[in-house]
Chains A and B, each alone.
Chain A
């Protein structure tokens, strides 16, 4: 058995009988049809490409994608129906990268077939990935309609690629196939962030996202290499059985302890954690459905998935999980503080996503995979809901997203439903007591607060503080935008901003205020936006069911049992923890968390609804006092992280590259190569006067040369004869 001592601190092993035992995988060739879960979106991507080549100018690509994604969802449900929480199944599809040399020893072969590993963790993730994917695709079919015939095909092609890659990532049976999906979702993210390709900011954001992810990916790739070197396999099932056989199954002293840290780097890149988090806010340059699907609900949770999947490996180094916890806790706090000072609604939600992902990592780090998994689940719904309502606002107000320029949307015809769904999302994000997110966040914070480690307890308190901040910035947005007196300015973004005839540099339409231009009428969303919104809201509410089931019916938590039957079993136990300040950790978290939530909402109510000038007064008060002057500026400038990275990495690299290029051109090429080439020329120049073009000159040279040689020979002959 592996040494799970660290986990034992935070979790109660007594309750579950099978804790720490990962069920052995079963080969299931009869489940080959599960490959269609990946295959359908891939096929859809291919069909979208063909649509693009044939210049289809209808909504056909959307229909293709929606059908494919719903197909994937149905297949996932069927798979769930069939397997439930049974033993993991391995479904081989085809050989991909396999190679063997030497003898049959495990270490002398590298086997990465394209195969699926289906256990309850896989199914858990696939259910909400394909489900939300389908709903958001329906939403996008209306949201993107002004682009029909232009970018529409490209958009849905990208969404299909994303779903195929995400399904590959989650269903992979080995780390190399996971890596394929991992980079695939990065590609889809790149293509979709850069969807409005004529905006330089969108192109830059796409590039940034891809490169920051690549840094993480390098960690993942090296981690995979190291896993293979130490355990002779990259296959989950084999890896887990090797790990259970004993920690010394590896060979050599190749720092197995480095494995979790390298994997972590990959996870932090994909899930936008410190230090690789700055790409996610910029990623909001993409269309809103993309932000909802990829950059809130699904792709960014891939890091959580990776750590949950590889959880047994995180016991290889005693500080590995603690690092995850610290990074998660700090990210949650830092992102929340930044979220307080942003004015772009989507960016606030982006920072809240980073912050909530931080909670998930905190959960993983303090040893509750259950809490992390549950938070992934609840967060997927309410965050998708928040983004989609923000998208509905953008759609109706010509791209306006600045919370200073929108107010009282609750009373604007057509936006009532959107406003109240946004309220639901906000309450859930603030972890209103008895909402789904309350339970999931509660589990994580209880594990942290109740830990025996004092640093985890500190992170728990920090998490509770963050919960208050979260409630504040969430309702800051809602009170500003949806409540209060009606006032709005339309955005400057025509939906055809990337149209052939329009260049944003030449003719940006100035912000239209209602007073100035009477012909602007915000249009409310139609059914294709409303229905997914309602369904996702229902999902967000229903996500609380597993917890209610425990609380009121003394049943079992469905999420918990899903996690418990997977490789993340080690942290899936019920969280109790020790007492904090005389109260049980659980009770303490609930009380303090609820209070923080209420206080946060209250402050937001005062500063952003009851007395909107209060916010400015607070800001100038902070600015006025020398010790607190830095607070508003730092937060508004996102802790200057982008600037610091620019100074620390990009500038030196840029300068270094120029120096290298200069060195290459002048020293290597100019001096060494061309210099060598000039030597014969220089030597020839010495004799050039002899070759003056006159025939006699050449003859004289020849004769002179002959005489010289003859004289030399004669001299040698003379010397030879004494």
Chain B
């Protein structure tokens, strides 16, 4: 059952994309939206029938269900609870984005919905893959729809943004591919057969590959993911791309595409090369801290609302990665939770800003202000999502953020985690400064866009500024209408529910996290004892592949 649904998750959007391709233009948006809803329905059915919510196992539990395999590459799909949560988030965002694009996209409508559905299929493919090559292909394929989405429907510098996005991600991705191929090659040398299954590769790499090689494998794998995440200092493509992408593109970029990086980290890099994960932990944690604080301060001096939210993505995702690199269950669980809540609240912020952009054709905070007077309903949602984004308890941002913070805080404490860790209170304190900075820049954003005296572009040219009804230049209503409320309301409800009752999420995430963290306690303990893992190769001898390597 779950296999069929997993394949359906990828095939439904592809099929709908094909139908969109052959349909008349005026039907494209309806078919596209239908496709997104159909995928959502499949995802919900998948989630409903999913048997492994609480044990962290992959469904289906055996690898033998592939349709096709050659050279060890197989098209085999499955999901664990973390992947499934990300799938649910993606499929939940997608219809909202497409409905949100009804009025924003007036040119080449067919292509737009075609690419979006293809993008959805490839993202779901990456989440569902249990084969490294399939994962990599899906992961990299997301670039193609995204390239066209940016280059065709973006802002003034869209070409440059699209090219930068593709080259940057591709450059990182190639290194990831090299890492994967290296592991596969080593495994071929050891076992005599090719196998690209993520499970076998992880087992081989984490238990058999010598420490000195794992360190480099980790770095290679990390390269691509770090660009996608994006980890400071590899983040500079993100503000440009967010700034230039159409609203829908920004939402999906913040909502799901960045999560491909964090998910890759969670699914592939950290489990596959745990020694590398421990060895590089300090460097990465420091990069996260720099990201949290520096990007937050950069947010604070932005003039462009969308760039501000883009930089806020950088700081939030650095927070998320800090939780993941804390290498204890509470931090990693918080990190996964943060992935989902960040997707919802930041995606919603991009939607809100997109709605203003559609009306005023600017997102410059120097030209816009006091929009509460024009758009009270929009303002309500804008303030709501800004608060969600700054981690107000009771809304979705808080549980993940708090667990990440606690995870980093206790990562040194043997009694709390069961093993010593590599961070400590100072990491949490510096990360906590990011919380203050988050309040600074998000309230600045809200204070300028929503509150204050009304400022509209071009208002100063005209005389009766306070009487004439002039500013919204498009055919849209002054405030957001039923369609747009219909987009934001589900997101707001999701934010509230996740904030007030995150318990089921934690229960679902935790077992997967435990599986992921299995090799870490022993390694971290050794690292703390010896200061390095590179001196000692003996521990690999008990692995099932040990004989093969010695041969």
Contact = CB atoms under 8 A, between A and B. Distances in A.
Asked whether the complex places CB atoms of A and B closer than 8 A, the reply is yes
Given A207-B444, A222-B425, A664-B236, A658 B301 contact: yes
Interface string B412-437: 01111110000001001100110110
Interface of B is mostly: helix
B439 A211 contact: yes
B408 to A, nearest CB: 9
B528 interface: no
Interface of A: 49, 52-53, 94-99, 101-102, 105, 107-108, 110, 176, 179-180, 182-184, 187, 190-191, 194, 197-198, 200, 202-204, 206-207, 210-211, 214-215, 217-218, 221-222, 225-226, 228-229, 232, 251-252, 254, 498, 500-506, 653-654, 656-658, 660-661, 664, 668-669, 672-673, 677
B467 A501 contact: yes
A657 B409 contact: no
Contacts of B414: 252
Nearest to B450: A197
Contacts of A218: 432-433, 435-436
A505 B453 CA distance: 8
Contacts of B436: 211, 214-215, 218
Given A225-B406, A664-B298, A101 B510 contact: yes
Contact of B300 (A197, A214, A657): A657
B466 A502 contact: yes
Contacts of A501: 466-467
B451 A97 contact: no
Interface stretch (B260-268, B316-324, B501-509, B534-542): B501-509
* Among A49, A107, A664, residue most surrounded by chain B Cβ atoms (within 10 Å): A664
Contacts of B451: 194, 197-198, 202-203, 206
Nearest to A665: B236
Contacts of B333: 99
Contacts of A110: 330, 406
Nearest to B419: A102
Interface stretch (B71-79, B98-106, B207-215, B391-399): B391-399
A204 B298 contact: no
A673 B452 contact: no
B409 A225 contact: yes
A101 B329 contact: yes
B454 A97 contact: no
A222 B429 contact: yes
A211 B440 contact: yes
Nearest to A194: B451
A247 B203 CA distance: 45
Interface stretch (B15-23, B56-64, B370-378): B370-378
B297 A96 contact: no
B406 A656 contact: no
B338 interface: no
Given A198-B373, A505-B453, 17 more contacts: A52-B380, A96-B503, A98-B503, A101-B514, A108-B418, A110-B330, A183-B393, A218-B433, A221-B435, A228-B410, A228-B416, A229-B410, A503-B454, A653-B300, A664-B236, A664-B298, A673-B164
B85 to A, nearest CB: 16
A251 B415 CA distance: 8
B400 to A, nearest CB: 10
Nearest to B314: A664
Interface in B247-275: none
Given A110-B406, A211-B440, A197 B372 contact: yes
B236 A673 contact: yes
- Complex A-B, nearest 4 residue pairs according to Cβ-Cβ distance, in ascending order: A669-B236, A180-B393, A657-B297, A197-B451
A97 B502 CA distance: 7
Contact of B392 (A52, A183, A197): A183
A41 to B, nearest CB: 14
B523 to A, nearest CB: 17
11 contacts: A203-B447, A203-B452, A206-B443, A206-B447, A211-B439, A211-B440, A225-B409, A225-B425, A502-B466, A661-B302, A673-B164
A98 B466 CA distance: 52
